Amino acid sequence: MHDASSPEELSGWAAVLLRSDAHELAAILVDASQTVVATNGAAAALFDRNVVGEPLLESFEPGSRIKLGRALETGGTCELLLRGRGDDAPRVVHFAVLPEAGARHVLVGASNGQIWYSEAQGRELLRRNDELGVLSRQLARQAQELGQARTRLEHLNALRQQLTATLAHDLRNPLSAVGLVARELGRLGQGLPLTRVSALARRLERNVLRMARLIDTVLAAVRLEEDEIALDRTSTSLEDVVREAIDALAPLADERHVSVACAARGDTRALVDPTWMGQVLDNLLANAIRHAPQGSAVRVAISGDEQHVACSVSDQGPGVPPELREAIFDRFRQAGPHAGSAGLGLYLSRGVLELHGGRIWVEQPETGGARFCFEVPRATP
């Protein structure tokens, strides 16, 4: 093969022709600029020289250049006049012009005196080239799909392992607490005081609710991942949703001696699914309470304008470093010793808010701590 740069990604038959100097058919590879990139021995003999690196059209008579230029644009077969060298007369040649990858073309043919290259033969060669092209694209697409499936399986396996590890970690503490409470309650027959029984019962309830909240978050995150969350949006007072979440988390706040207060300004009616917004606020408030120092306060602020209802949940904890303020919303991302929900609470909150057409972010107030803010579309009056 005579070439300026080895042809790559050619159809099988084209590669064979270009690499064969024994074949009677001339094969010429041209690039997008119509410059000859490679030829076989039969082509070199047809042109009586090595034409690699030359503009293809210059080897033909002026009238044939128009015909060949058109064939390079549309494909097909053509009869051309090859320029003679010196006093030699032009020779009649027949070529089939076949498209290749990278805006290149392969010309296959011969002169009249060597092989009669008929129109029917050219059409058959074009048809086979098209079939090979379709097959190559199908194989490439299937290989890509298999690669994507393998990558997804590896990703799912990594997620399964990570979820198993985080669940085992997050469930260990409440399960241990439940076990301790159960053992103490077993001492009822030994004269355990009633006040102690009542305190143990409240502790048992808190830890059961904690495990239930974790399981609910994991199941909701799975539904989000599988695009199975269907919102039922209605005009809802976001203040009402916040106060319900505060009431539900009162046992956790009492356990950590953290006060939680809500202040609303303006019309707080938003176009949201109240159940899923309750899940979002439960996650944000539980996260704030866990990170707030004992004896400190968590503050919720709600305000509305013409287009959005905004809400912020602030704590007096260690805050979120600037480099983590995006990553903290990733799946399985946990920060600090009091992280919970298997690292899924903030991931779920962001996903649900985005489904509502809203957004969420975290910032650090001047007084310190962390402030998680979100906004959702306002309900039309």
Could you tell me the two tokens for 17?
């022709």
Average pLDDT over residues 349-372: 90
Query: What mean pLDDT value characterizes the chain?
Result: 78
Could you tell me the two tokens for 362?
């975290």
Distance CA 88, CA 91 (A): 9
Residue 346: which pLDDT band, with cuts at 50, 70 and 90?
A: confident
pLDDT for 338 equals: 45
Handedness of CA 340, 341, 344, 348 (dihedral sign): negative
pLDDT, one tens digit per residue, over 268-286 is 999 998 888 888 998 899 8
Q: What is the CB neighbour count within 10 angstroms for residue 53?
A: 12
Distance CA 136, CA 248 (A): 60
More confident residue, 202 or 189: 202
pLDDT for 168 equals: 55
pLDDT, one tens digit per residue, over 323-337 is 888 888 886 555 554
- Record the pTM: 0.49
pLDDT for 116 equals: 44
CA-closest candidate to residue 362, choices 372, 353, 354, 349: 372
- Tell me: pLDDT of 142 over 70: yes
Q: How many Å from the N-terminal Cα to the C-terminal Cα in the chain?
A: 77
CA-closest candidate to residue 219, choices 152, 173, 167: 167
Could you tell me the two tokens for 144?
């890509």
Phi, psi of 370 (to 5 degrees): -125, 145
The kind and range of the H/E element at 103 are none
